[in-house]
Amino acid sequence: MPSRAWSDPLGEELYIGLMSGTSLDGVDGALCAFTADGRWIGVRRHAALPFEPALRAALAGLQQPGPDEIHRAALAANALAEVYAQVVQRLLEGLSPSSVRAIGTHGQTIRHRPGLFDGTGYTTQINQPALLAERCRIDVIADFRSRDVAAGGQGAPLVPPFHAAIFGNGDPALPPRAVVNIGGISNLTLLSPGKPPRGFDCGPGNALLDHWAQRHLGQPYDAQGAWSAGGQVATALLQALLSEPYFASPPPKSTGRDLFHPEWLHWHLGAQRSACAAQDVQATLCELTAAAIANDLARHAPSTRELLVCGGGALNDDLMRRLGQRLPGCCVLGTAERGLPPLQVEAAAFAWLARQHCHRQAASLPEVTGALGPRILGACYPA
Ligand SMILES: Nc1ncnc2c1ncn2[C@@H]1O[C@H](COP(=O)(O)OP(=O)(O)OP(=O)(O)O)[C@@H](O)[C@H]1O
Ligand SMILES: CC(=O)N[C@H]1[C@@H]2OC[C@@H](O2)[C@@H](O)[C@@H]1O[C@H](C)C(=O)O
């Protein structure tokens, strides 16, 4: 008989979720509790570690083709597993590994090019789940996206069913709600009571803002959006950026650094005849992130009355202000106001995805990803 220490006397099950996303800033981990029948209880512990500059540079260098990339990817995956293991150790402090049923680990996306059935679609997350299982002695569930892509889906976004489970409101009398995760890329979940959740990637979140802040301030990000708040939006540049066909394309859709990379921004800046001040470009990028989200809400869910924001973008006051300005009929607030702090949501989603896998329950929503049907996601690396 396998040990069932992970199911405590109250019948709760514990899972750990680990997320390192497109911002390339580091790892968030969440130790999460579920009832035995799968209902969400909450985040018991949260831990985060930033990437050391060398690992961050290695991961950034893998976002586009380059020499010796197989070797570099293998080394980066090993290093990533060690950071993940450190986050797990912090989450476990005082707990035995056997009290956790499984770890769900996203890995690090280095390419995202989903296609349909023409044989060219793939999404690649580097990861070393075997090494993580060896270090932690807990079952590790990984590779959550490939099965959905195999079934003709985008493989992303995967968090909408989790958003629905946590923030969905089943009362049909209440107005629709939406959740937006603003990480490196932003993705939206539309929750209308009585209807299946919808969701897709909106476009750039913080990735281009971070690039510009690093270049001009020497900072990894524009803290609280203080710099962008003092700039003027360059209207012509904003219109040019918004003319990117991705924004108007219909769901299902997902994107990544493959499309919204610094060269995309620099190409548009080069195409502008008049030079913009660096601070005005930052203001324009912040407005771009807000505009893409607000336009998507207007197009796909105009009756939304509450927008819950998670991901690091929720900590950017200027971005939150711009969202509020563009959505006058909608209350814009961080997910902490609905019980889950913004930086914990994605990690918690991977704990939920691990639980779905362990219980052999489908986790993907074909309405979101465009796959042929719902699928059990992930592969298990036993402890
Ligand atoms: N205090 C802050 N002020 C402004 N921006 C912040 C602040 N804290 C975090 N951020 C932004 O949030 C980013 C990190 O967000 P998050 O951890 O949600 O991204 P991610 O998980 O890597 O991305 P994704 O959701 O695309 O996978 C940082 O790179 C930064 O741009
Ligand atoms: C391929 C990939 O890593 N996509 C990420 C990325 O970051 C945000 C957005 O683009 C979303 O599609 C996804 O992450 C979340 C966790 C998701 O799958 O829902």
Residue ID of nearest Cα to ligand 1 atom 8: 312
- Around ligand 2, the residues with Cβ closer than 6 Å are 21-22, 109, 112, 123, 156-159, 183-185, 187, 201, 254, 256, 346
Q: Per-residue pLDDT for 32 more than 90? A: yes
Ligand nearest to the CA of 282: 1
Query: 338 and 362 in one domain?
Result: no
Residue 302 lies in a domain: yes
* pLDDT at 273 > cutoff 90: no
Same domain, 145 and 176: no
Q: Is the pLDDT of residue 137 over 90?
A: yes
The pLDDT-based confidence of 170 (bands split at 50, 70, 90) is confident
CATH of the domain at 348: 3.30.420.40
Q: What is the mean pLDDT of residues 4-17?
A: 77
Pocket test residue of 20, 25, 145, 340 for ligand 1, highest count of atoms within 8 A of CB: 25
CA of 289 to the centre of ligand 2 (A): 16
Indicate if the pLDDT at residue 300 is higher than 50.
Answer: yes
* Ligand whose nearest atom lies closest to the CA of 159: 2
* Mean pLDDT score across all residues of the chain: 95
pLDDT at 346 over 70: yes
Q: Is 316 in the pocket of ligand 1 (CB under 6 A)?
A: yes
pLDDT in tens, 231-244: 999 999 999 999 99
Q: What is the pLDDT of residue 62?
A: 97
Residue 116 pLDDT grade (very low, low, confident, very high; cuts 50, 70, 90): low
149, 166: one domain: no
Is the pLDDT at 6 greater than 90? The verdict is: no
Q: Which residue has the higher pLDDT, 133 or 4?
A: 133
Specify the pTM.
Answer: 0.96
Residue 292 belongs to a domain: yes
Q: What average pLDDT does the segment 276-300 reach?
A: 97
- Position 119 scores a pLDDT of 79
pLDDT digit string, tens, across residues 201-250: 999 999 999 999 999 999 999 999 999 999 999 999 999 999 999 999 99
Residues 123, 87 share a domain? yes
Per-residue pLDDT band at 16 (split at 50, 70, 90): very high
pLDDT at 3 over 60: no
Which range, of 170-184, 288-302, 344-358, averages the lowest pLDDT? Answer: 170-184
Q: Are residues 35 and 173 in the same domain?
A: no
> Is 6 a member of any domain?
no
For 63-110, the pLDDT digits (tens) are: 999 999 999 999 999 999 999 999 999 999 999 999 999 999 999 999
**334 and 251 in one domain?**
yes
Annotated binding-site residue? 26: yes
Tell me what the mean pLDDT of segment 344-361 comes to.
98
**Is 25 known to sit in a ligand binding site?**
yes
| pLDDT at res. 175 | 82
CB 311 near ligand 1, within 6 Å? yes
24 in a known ligand binding site = yes
Residue of minimum CA distance from atom 17 in ligand 1: 312
Position 1 in a domain: no
Secondary structure of the chain in the HEC alphabet? CCCCCCECCCCCEEEEEEECCCCCCEEEEEEEEECCCCCEEEEEEEEEEECCHHHHHHHHHCCCCCCCHHHHHHHHHHHHHHHHHHHHHHHHCCCCHHHCCEEEECCEEEEEECCCCCCCCEEEEECCHHHHHHHHCCCEEECCCHHHHHCCCCCCCCCHHHHHHHHCCCCCCCCCEEEEEECCEEEEEEECCCCCCEEEEEEECCHHHHHHHHHHHCCCCCHHHHHHHCCCCCHHHHHHHHCCHHHHCCCCCCCCCCCCCHHHHHHHHHHCCCCCCHHHHHHHHHHHHHHHHHHHHHHHCCCCCEEEEECHHHHCHHHHHHHHHHCCCCEEEEHHHHCCCHHHHHHHHHHHHHHHHHCCCCCCCHHHHCCCCCCCCCEEECC
- Would 215 be classed as within a structural domain? yes
Band of pLDDT at residue 311, cut at 50, 70 and 90: very high
Confidence of residue 2 (pLDDT cuts 50, 70, 90): very low
Q: Mind listing the pLDDT tens digit for each residue in 362-371?
A: 999 999 999 9
Ligand nearest to the CA of 258: 2
Q: For ligand 2, pick from 24, 146, 185, 202 the residue to mutate: most ligand atoms within 8 Å of CB.
A: 185
Judged by average pLDDT, the poorest of 51-65, 105-119, 280-294, 324-338 is 105-119
Q: Which residue's alpha carbon is nearest to atom 17 within ligand 2?
A: 157
Tell me, what's the pLDDT at 53? 96
Identify whether residues 321 and 362 lie together within a single domain. no
Domain of 314 in residue numbering reads as: 160-342
- Least distant ligand from the CA of 349: 2
| Cα gap 109→21, rounded to integer Å | 7
Q: How many distinct structural domains can be found in the chain? A: 2
Determine if ligand 1 sits within 6 Å of the CB of residue 312: yes
Is residue 40, in this structure, part of any structural domain at all? yes
Could you tell me if 366 and 288 lie in one domain?
no
29 occurs within a structural domain: yes
Statement: residue 343 has pLDDT above 90: yes
27 labeled part of a ligand binding site: yes
- Name which residue sits closest to atom 13 of ligand 2, judged by CA: 157
More confident of the two residues 11 and 181: 181
Please indicate, yes or no, whether residues 37 and 138 belong to a single structural domain of this protein: yes
280 and 201, same structural domain? Answer: yes
